[in-house]
Amino acid sequence: MISAVKVVFSIAGLGICSLAIAQDDTSRVTELNKVTVVGYKAMNGIGHFNEVNSSFIYTGKKTEIIEVDSIDANKAINNTRQILGRIPGLYIVESETGGFVANGIGVRGLNPVQSLELDARQNGYNVAADVYGYNETYYLPPMEAVERVEMIKGSSSLQFGSQLGGMVNYLIKSGSKDKPFTFSTMQTVGSTGLYNNYLSAGGTIGKFNYFTFLNYRGLEGWRANSNQQQLTGYGKIKYQVNHKLSIGVEYSLLRNKIKMPGGLTDAQFEENSKTSVRSRNWVKSPWNIVSANMDYKMSKNTSLNIITTFLSGERSLVWVNRLPNIEDNRDLITGEYVNREVDREMMKSTTTELRLLHQYRIGQINNTLAAGVRFAYSAFDRKEEAPGTNKSDFDLSTQGEYEEQFTFKTMNSAVFAENRIQLGDRFAVNPGIRLESLVTESEGEFEAGGVEKEIENEKERAFVLAGIGFQYQVGRKASAYANITQSYRPVDYAQLLPLGSVSEVDPNLKDPKGRNTDLGIRGNVKDIFNYDISLFHLTYNNRIGLTLKNNDAGEPYTYRTNIAQSIHKGIESYLECKLFRWLGTSSKAGDLSIYNSFGYTNAQYTKGEYKGNAVEYAPKVIIRTGVSYAISWFSTSLQYSHQSKAYGDADNTEISNNPIVGKIPAYSVIDWSITGRWKKIKIKAGLNNLTGKHYFTQRTDEYPGPGIIPSIGRSYYAGIGLDFM
């Protein structure tokens, strides 16, 4: 007599459906043959972590997960606006083809340039050169290789590090668990000379699981004097020693050479945003990351994870480092260009993180403890302002000595603990604490006012961060969450001594610190309506920014200093409705969904000279809304993005002769993408910035400018690939 029937479905592009029939007599079990179901992954919008996942606790935290393969987007150029645009309030610095190898992102009115106020990770380990001293992100994996992107806003500072913005993690795909070899390729071409070649392979052989990819991108660029050649590679092997222990090793590399078109003044941008006033600017930033990890299930209730990472990177420039209104002139007698400037940076760092997750009971109360330690060391050498050649090609050879040379070192150790306490069936509280020790050393020589100077100093800090989170299960698929968490951001080398900057820097910069607060509710209704609505409040003390000053001759210049305290508060909302499911349409008709990602941020200075002014790079409104349709052989999406006005300086300058400061005007763009599948063949195509809007998202006082960095106008792409699964 059959007493129970259990059906387990798992559909994710290619899924497995198994049906197990359990009987009263447990010795009589009928197991049917495994059935492979070929289907499609419908758009699921933004997901979020369970309260306990892997070695981490997420109770009360604002988390967001993007499944990259479920998104129709231009992944050949890592179009962040399409791929991550569903994350509410995400500010994206679109500089991928202007000289940076990765678009920067920021949240809640924090600086988005090179994602420097986020803890950027790949597979759980840091990919920035230095976790504190120089945490700008120059390497990111190609989105075609990424399985999902995970973000924790604000409240990640206890478990991951003290950054005010939070943590973003790019999780690379793994090899098939039930096949020894699978292979995938995608060849993409597009406007402005785009050619992108992506190849990947993976599988499981015995106790070894492996995955590797190779990605080459060539791009002439939307603006004149643009050229990009980039190779990204990756490989990982995981060995399952037994059911308790696994060990793995990974290697990531980036090799590139980029010709930079430079920045523009406001007048140049208005006249022709595709123009370039620099024809001799180049950069390369080779990156190498080696990581080893171990997962050990010590007991049913206790697990241990260790990750050790070694990073070696470089950033080298040969360029004309001048404001864009100063011409790159030739000598009137010889007809030759003047010599360019050569700047070089070499970074090496190592980080080890150990994490322990332990579940236990005190009386009738269930507890989960997540604790860990981190040790990090980095060395950073910088040489700048050497006279280069007067040629136009990529050439780092010098015609004299470097005027400035610096060596920086950072040593960091930290210990943290969070303890989730389950109070009843629905309510959990999660207090936590983090203790940090940070030592920075700097020495070097430079010229100031025609006088040679030397610096040699050491600075030690120790600080404690605390936080607490709450989560209440409102219904079976809905929960309310809240947290308040302290954050800290030490002054880094890029702020104190920026490379190639035309701004002056306050030598007495103070370390910023702050506090994040979230309150929200999320869930879904009958797998038809998905929502996550929250309020946030961020207090940011000693915020560093740019202001406009005049020298003794009355000439304006930009000055980087601690501006003042700022308060950031607002709303983040994500709503998605699956219309066909709501209307009861047959599943054979596919899946049609409409979504809206909305962020409202009111970020203002509340003290000091700039009280009442808007914080830089903090538009009040960011909206991205779209519609997507998916069926077994076809999917398409259309997305509208709007961002309101922002400013590039604390003075909130509207118009200036200095292109580093001024407003960043509001803009709206539309992106469209389609994907087709037939057996093992897949075809992708799309239009970005469909209406050809001319706009920009960044003003910069250094590389790749200085000045306005225009975003890309209308562009198209098309690709064909094969999946041998």
CATH 2.30.42.10 is the classification of domain 46-724 = no
Q: What is the mean pLDDT of residues 540-558?
A: 79
What H or E segment, with its residue span, contains residue 269? helix 266-271
Kindly report, residue by residue over 55-88, the tens digit of the pLDDT: 899 999 999 999 999 999 999 988 999 999 999 9
pLDDT at 502: 66
Burial classification of residue 552, based on how many CB atoms lie within 10 Å of its CB (0-12 exposed, 13-18 middle, 19 or more buried)? exposed
- Please report which confidence band the pLDDT of residue 29 belongs to, taking 50, 70 and 90 as the band edges: very low
pLDDT of residue 596: 97
- State the average pLDDT over residues 651-657: 90
The answer, yes or no, to whether residue 1 has pLDDT greater than 80, is: no
Q: What is the pTM of this model?
A: 0.91
Q: Kindly tell me the burial class for residue 1, based on how many C-beta atoms sit within 10 Å of its own C-beta (0-12, 13-18, 19 or more).
A: exposed
pLDDT (average), residues 700-706:
87
- Per residue in 95-128, pLDDT tens? 876 666 678 899 999 999 888 889 999 999 999 8
Burial of 348 (0-12, 13-18, 19+ CB in 10 A): middle
Q: How confident is the model at residue 41 (pLDDT cuts 50, 70, 90)?
A: very low
Confidence of residue 334 (pLDDT cuts 50, 70, 90): confident
Q: Is the model more confident about 39 or about 562?
A: 562
**Which is nearest to 388 in space by CA: 374, 404, 402?**
402
Per-residue pLDDT, 584? 87
Task: Give how far Cα 57 sits from Cα of 118, 152, 308, 467, 469, Å.
Answer: 19, 11, 21, 13, 10
Q: Give the residue extent of every domain in the chain.
A: 2-38, 46-724
Residue 383 pLDDT exceeds 70: yes
Question: Residue type for 496, please?
Answer: L
Residue 196: strand pairing partners = 188, 217
Residue 515 has pLDDT above 80, yes or no: yes
Q: What is the pLDDT of residue 702?
A: 85
Average pLDDT over residues 223-235: 94
Left if phi > 0, otherwise alpha if psi is -120 to 50, otherwise beta: which for 648? alpha
Q: What are the C-alpha distances in Å from 502 to residues 324, 371, 497, 498, 701?
A: 12, 44, 11, 9, 6
